[in-house]
Amino acid sequence: MATSSRLDAKIPQGSLESKWSKYRSSVPLVNPANKRNLEIIVVGTGLAGASAAATLAELGYKVKAFCFQDSPRRAHSIAAQGGINAAKNYQNDGDSVYRLFYDTIKGGDYRAREANVHRLAEVSGNIIDQCVAAGVPFAREYGGLLSNRSFGGTQVQRTFYAAGQTGQQLLLGAYSGLQRQVGMGTIKMYNRHEMLDIVNIDGKCRGIIARNLITGELERHGGHAVLLCTGGYGNVFYLSTNAMGSNVTAAWKAHKRGAFFGNPCFTQIHPTCIPVSGEHQSKLTLMSESLRNDGRIWVPKKQNDNRPGNEIPEAERDYYLERRYPAFGNLVPRDIASRAAKERCDAGYGVGTSKLAVYLDFAAAVERYGRGEASKNNIHNASDVDIITWGKAVVKEKYGNLFDMYKQITGEDPYEVPMRIYPAVHYTMGGLWVDYNLMTTVPGLYSLGEANFSDHGANRLGASALMQGLADGYFVIPYTIGAYLASEIRTGKISTDHEAFVKAETEVRERIETLLRIQGKTSPELFHRRLGKIMWDKCGMARNAEGLKEAIQEIRQLRKDFWSDVKVMGNATYFNPELDKANRVADFIELGELMCLDALDRNESCGGHFREEYQTEEGEALRDDENYMYVSAWEHKGPEDWELHKEELVYENIKIAQRSYK
Amino acid sequence: MPHLKVESDIKNIGMEGNMSLSLKVWRQSDKDAAGGFEDYKLAHVSPDMSFLEMFDVLNEQLIEEGKEPVSFDHDCREGICGACSMYINGRPHGPLRGVTTCQLHMRSFKDGDTIVVEPWRASAFPVIKDLVVDRDAFDRVISAGGFVSVNTGNAQDANSLPIAKESADDAFAAAACIGCGACVAACKNASAMLFVSAKISQLALLPQGQAERSIRAEKMVAQMDAEGFGACTNTGACSAECPKEISLENIARLNREYIGAKFSSSAV
Ligand SMILES: Cc1cc2nc3c(=O)[nH]c(=O)nc-3n(C[C@H](O)[C@H](O)[C@H](O)COP(=O)(O)OP(=O)(O)OC[C@H]3O[C@@H](n4cnc5c(N)ncnc54)[C@H](O)[C@@H]3O)c2cc1C
Ligand code: SF4
Ligand code: FES
């Protein structure tokens, strides 16, 4: 297979270790006087967008930043819990840039680009330095140095964290940098604005159409480059751990205007989420992967065992991850842990009223920590009660906020009874296809963070999304954007009177008017639920060709129904979340079809993409490197019409192997 | 599959429980409109629903009846983004301590209850629509000084400066503020002291924040005043209602920082 001539990943020459440093020192520069005249539009203020906006403004560019929430600080990154990876080797446990690179490629089941991932590992350490300098209060040891924990898919401790609120602390750090530039007048911030289209002129991206969500007005914004840092599309499944507002609209509009969509079917299902409690469920809540450091996952050995968890004796429990994967145990990567939970539940061993849950149990950790405290304090005859009390205190310090959240949602106390968990949609590895510079197939249009397809292959390792978002924003784009902008210094200010702006704005307006005119019987919310149901059943944790073909037909029908029967209340001249939702759901429906198409094309199982037809005898994913070692990059040709382009993946530094965590 | 049985049918949403509720909800079409309460009845509320899921059910019911749904801010529904902001039965975020509106569940209410829901009320937080208010003032206070002035790329190795665990933990506790504004809504003077002091404390407790310590306190307080937040009279209502239980000690620390700043400032 050869890479499509339409895709040039622009990977620099040279050895893997020297590519980035050499390239970085040879990218064309833009002098300060010219930077002042170059405008950059940053859509999204999560970790990727906020760090990019702040850094580009520091460099002297004129920046406009957009988010749909009422404040940039509320971007979905705020909800990340467990931590951020970096190859600092502070624990002296054998970590290195190469090992982080290797773990990420392997964790991604050999479907990511070597050069990008190596660069990510190289800059990971700088991220931690930068965040600490900006006042991010990471967890520390008594000696005052930074603390680390383990995450799935690795055997070193390289995850930095701030209790279960790492995303919050990192985002507030990036946000403070952004607000500093807002205060200095170098960034103009547009809160409660939603980008509804990009504008291309003569083959280059020159701006966006945004809607002021308070007044409903459409606005044109011109720029020399546009960065989409708009997050992932997990909400295509309706239920996911993403925030309610997370959506694909920005990326989708770009896709329809020429940006290829990379690996759309690569979705991450996170193994440890709070199970669905009923029909009213509006979203799912993650219980951080960090809990698998100390929690042991099990189900009863007997099918349909209805006894409460803590009444089931030790000998009658099946710690199935430890049994199947002794080397990694409870810390296998997410895709593997999720499938194993599904396998047990499908086989009738699930727990709780729905039987769609497994236990995550802290009893052993409580006892171990309790004994540890006793010996630290030289107490040799401690009672069991004391040991449990001390152990609980240690667990509380590590995971207190997560335990509180669990209790708040389920009404059960996880200090007393094991948690019930089940996999849920969490992250999307797929996204806009980008080259090494993070540029999409539309010149001048970039994509950063979860919105792009880049570094995680077919499965992302825990604590690597925060790393990637900040790498892209703080340390990659500020350099790579020069390669494009250096040739834009003579362009002059972008006029928004150009007919391309007029046309794009008109199209956005007409679509909104259509949505309001239909006045059917079904709310956007219900269409979203219907889509989610199709996606979860047929393009979720397990997929097969037959189901995917059905799903495509069902989604096409859903799209027709939507455009003839949606009921959008109110109008477009004031704050109207129903209209915003309708717009987003319409795009999710189209994306759903492409995801199924991509899943159908990929006749193999890899990472989060599990095709039932392709598995080993033990039920592990069966890759087909001969035929599918490529990135799929889909070009939009028209309604229900796409063309597939392939970027061949070449591994020069890693020996590909069947992924094993046994 | 742990998914909603969509076709079984969607009408079942909100038909799972047996609680009946009367709601009195503030409706206001825009910032200049007068606004007032409207009464709604909901049956079959499940105790496992979150408060916002109960509002989802209400909104679907309103759409069904051809009425405009109630606008409210929300996003993460995990108690961390700070978007949700309902004033429930006279208390910001409702009856529980240390819990945001989105994490409040209907098991905290009883069958037959009447629940009154209003937006945050403060002149610095004008109403946009129904329960949605404009909290941009908080962003402007941060822009005035809630940061460390360090450009990307200038940082030294993260472990080159050890920080006592205690200071790091205290800084983290202050940094846990989600910027929701409940403290302002809880305060009879609509003071923003808890929010502002949390950020000032976080940075004052860390070595990285030292260089700008005085100027930060001065500028943030000046901006807070300019935004029209009221004065702090130490009633403590803010901390009592804060979903992240941000401590009043932060306000004491702000006062020390501020006085220190004024003494060293050339303006004195
Ligand atoms: C519950 C949870 C926990 C997680 N925990 C971890 C963890 O511990 N470690 C880890 O590494 N990763 C974690 N992740 C993943 C990680 O949080 C995300 O992948 C990452 O934060 C995404 O950052 P981002 O900057 O790309 O996008 P986001 O933070 O999602 O930001 C998107 C931004 O785009 C804006 N936007 C979107 N569309 C538009 C539009 N049309 N117009 C205008 N603005 C728009 C939004 O307003 C927002 O500002 C977690 C994810 C979840 C769901
Ligand atoms: S101090 Fe508490 S109440 Fe005030 S904004 Fe922060 S989290 Fe909300
Ligand atoms: S919706 Fe995010 S804190 Fe409530």
- Print pLDDT tens along chain B (268 aa): 344 444 444 445 556 788 999 999 999 999 999 999 999 999 999 999 999 999 999 999 999 999 999 999 999 999 999 999 999 999 999 999 999 999 999 999 999 999 999 999 999 999 999 999 999 999 999 999 999 999 999 899 999 999 999 999 999 999 999 999 999 999 999 999 999 999 999 999 999 999 999 999 999 999 999 999 999 999 999 999 999 999 999 999 999 988 888 777 654 3
Contact B48 A51 (CB under 8 A): no
Report whether residue A469 contacts ligand 1, using a CB cutoff of 6 Å: yes
Say if B238 is an interface residue toward chain A (CB within 8 Å).
Answer: no
Atom of ligand 1 nearest to the CA of A467: 11
CA of A57 to the centre of ligand 2 (A): 29
Q: Whose CA is nearest to atom 2 of ligand 1?
A: A80
- How far apart are the CA of B217 and the nearest CA of chain A, in angstroms? 15
> What confidence category does residue A277 fall into, taking pLDDT thresholds of 50, 70 and 90?
confident
What does the alpha-carbon distance between residue B268 and residue B187 come to, in Å, rounded to a whole number? 30
* Exposed e or buried b per residue across A96-128, where buried means at least 16 C-beta atoms within 10 angstroms of its C-beta: ebbbbbbbbbbbbbbbbbbbbbbbbbbbbbbbb
3-state secondary structure of A407: helix
ipTM confidence: 0.95
Is residue A53 less than 8 Å (CB to CB) from chain B?
A: no
Atom of ligand 2 nearest to the CA of B179: 5
DSSP A473: I
B contacts of A281 (beta carbons < 8 Å): 4, 53
More confident: A381 or A662: A381
Q: Is A234 in the pocket of ligand 1 (CB under 6 A)?
A: no
Q: Per-domain residue ranges for chain A?
A: 272-425
Across residues A635-650, what is the average pLDDT?
97
Is A41 close to ligand 1, i.e. is its CB under 6 Å away?
A: no
- Centre of ligand 1 to C-alpha A476, Å, is 18
Give pTM, 2 decimals: 0.96
Classified as helix, coil or strand, A196 is strand
Residue A413 has pLDDT above 80, yes or no: yes
CB contact A627 to B (< 8 Å): no
Q: What is the arrangement of strands in the sheet containing A193-201, beginning at the earlier edge strand?
A: A193-201, A204-212, A218-222
Distance A231 CA to ligand 1 centre (A): 5
CA dist., res. A193 & res. A65, Å (int): 10
Instruction: Encode burial over A541-562: b for 16+ CB neighbours within 10 A, e otherwise.
Output: bbbbeebbeebbebbbebbeeb
List the structure tokens of B12: 């079942």
- Of the candidates A78, A133, A276, the beta carbon closest to that of B76 is on A78
- A621 alpha carbon, distance to own chain's centre: 22
Q: What residue ranges define each of the domains in chain B, with the CATH number in brackets?
A: 7-118 (3.10.20.30), 135-264 (1.10.1060.10)
Q: Do A71 and B68 touch (CB under 8 A)?
A: no
3-state DSSP assignment of residue A10: coil
Compute the distance from residue A74 Cα to the ligand 1 centre, in Å.
10
Q: Give the Å distance between the CA of A450 and the centre of ligand 1.
A: 7
Contacts of A193 in chain B (CB under 8 A): none
**Spatial distance between the Cα atoms of A203 and A192, rounded to a whole number of angstroms:** 29
For residue B147, the SS3 value is coil
pLDDT value for B15: 61
- Rounded to a whole number of angstroms, the distance from the CA of B15 to the nearest CA of chain A is 9
Nearest one of A173, A106, A99, A104 to A136, comparing CA atoms: A173
Q: Which residues, in sequence order, are bridge partners of residue A611?
A: A543
Ligand 1: nearest atom to the Cα of A161: 8
A228 touches chain B (CB under 8 A): no
User: Ligand 3 centre and the CA of B70: distance in Å?
Assistant: 17
Ligand 3 — pocket residues by CB below 6 A?
B 74-77, 79-84, 100-102
Q: What is the pLDDT of residue A154?
A: 86
Chain B CB within 8 Å of residue A43 CB: no
Q: How many CB atoms lie within 10 A of CB A83?
A: 30
Ligand 3: residue of B50, B80, B87, B132 to mutate (most ligand atoms within 8 A of CB) is B80
For residues B64 and A357, give the distance between their C-alpha atoms in angstroms, rounded to a whole number: 34
Spacing, Cα A232 to ligand 1 middle (Å): 7
> Measured in angstroms, how far is the CA atom of residue A403 from the centroid of ligand 2?
21
Question: Residue A555 in contact with residue A593, Cβ under 8 Å?
Answer: yes
A72: amino acid identity, one letter: P
| Per-residue confidence band for A278, with pLDDT thresholds at 50, 70 and 90 | confident
Strands B36-45 and B91-92: unpaired
Average pLDDT over residues A95-123: 97
Please count the other Cβ atoms lying within 10 Å of the Cβ belonging to residue A341: 27
Among A307-311, A646-650, B7-11, B224-228, the minimum mean pLDDT is found in B7-11
Q: In CATH terms, is domain A272-425 a member of 3.90.700.10? A: yes
B256, B257, B259, B264 alpha-carbon torsion, rounded to 10°: 140
Nearest CA to ligand 2 atom 1: B195
Report the chain B residue with the minimal C-alpha distance to residue A190.
B136
**For residue B207, what are the contacts with CB-CB under 8 A and spacing of at least 6?**
B161, B163
Cβ-count burial of B267 within 10 angstroms (0-12 exposed, 13-18 middle, 19+ buried)?
Answer: exposed
| Structure tokens belonging to residue B210 | 């030292």
Cα separation, A74 vs B125, in Å, equals 17
Interface of A with B in 272-331 (CB under 8 A): 275-283, 285-286
Strand, helix or coil at A522?
A: strand
Determine which residue's CA is closest to atom 2 belonging to ligand 2: B242
- Residue B118 identity: E
Give the pLDDT of residue B268: 39
DSSP string, B214-262: HHHHHHHHHHHHHTT--------HHHHH-TT---THHHHHHHHHHHHHH
B156 and A144: CB-CB below 8 Å? Answer: no
Q: What is the pLDDT of residue B212?
A: 97
Q: What is the DSSP string of B45-62?
A: E-TTSBHHHHHHHHHHHH
B142·A575 Cβ contact <8 A: no
B16/A405 Cβ within 8 A = no
Structure tokens at A450: 């979860």
Average pLDDT, chain A: 96
pLDDT band at A398 (very low <50, low <70, confident <90, very high): confident
Q: Is A518 on the interface with B (CB under 8 A)?
A: no
Cα A243 to Cα B170: distance, rounded to the nearest angstrom: 28
Residue A280 has its nearest CB partner, among B14, B99, B152, at B14
B positions 6-65 inside 8 Å of A (CB): 6-7, 10, 12-16, 29-30, 46, 48-50, 52-54, 56-57, 60, 62-63
3-class SS letters over A220-275: EEECCEEEECCCCCHHHHCCCCCCCCCCCHHHHHHHHCCCCEECCCCEEEEEEECC
Bigger pLDDT: A354 or A552?
A: A552
Question: pLDDT for A240-274, tens place per residue?
Answer: 999 999 999 999 999 999 999 999 999 999 999 99
Q: What distance in Å separates residue B262's CA from the closest CA in chain A?
A: 22
Identify the pLDDT of residue B14: 53
Query: Is beta strand A225-228 parallel, antiparallel or unpaired with respect to A445-447?
Result: parallel
Q: Which residues of A touch B146 (CB under 8 A)?
A: 176, 179
B177 lines ligand 2 (CB under 6 A): yes
Question: What is the pLDDT, as a whole number, of residue B261?
Answer: 81
CB contact under 8 A, B80 and A244: no
Residues 6 or more apart in contact with residue A574 via CB below 8 angstroms: A214, A215, A216, B29, B30, B129
Closest by alpha carbon to B195, among A371, A196, A71, A479? A71
User: How far from B1 is each of A21, A280, A419, A534, B241, CA to CA, in Å?
Assistant: 48, 16, 19, 11, 39
In whole angstroms, give the CA distance from residue B214 to residue B264. Answer: 8
d(CA A465, CA A80): 9
Chosen for mutation from B6, B10, B70 (greatest number of chain A CBs closer than 10 Å) is B6
**Set of chain A residues whose Cβ sits within 8 Å of the Cβ of B14:** 279-280
The Cα B72–Cα A375 span in angstroms is 52
β-pair partners for B92: B87
Closest residue of A to B201, CA-based? A135
Q: Which residue has the tokens 């040991």?
A: A387
* pLDDT, average across residues A30-52: 97
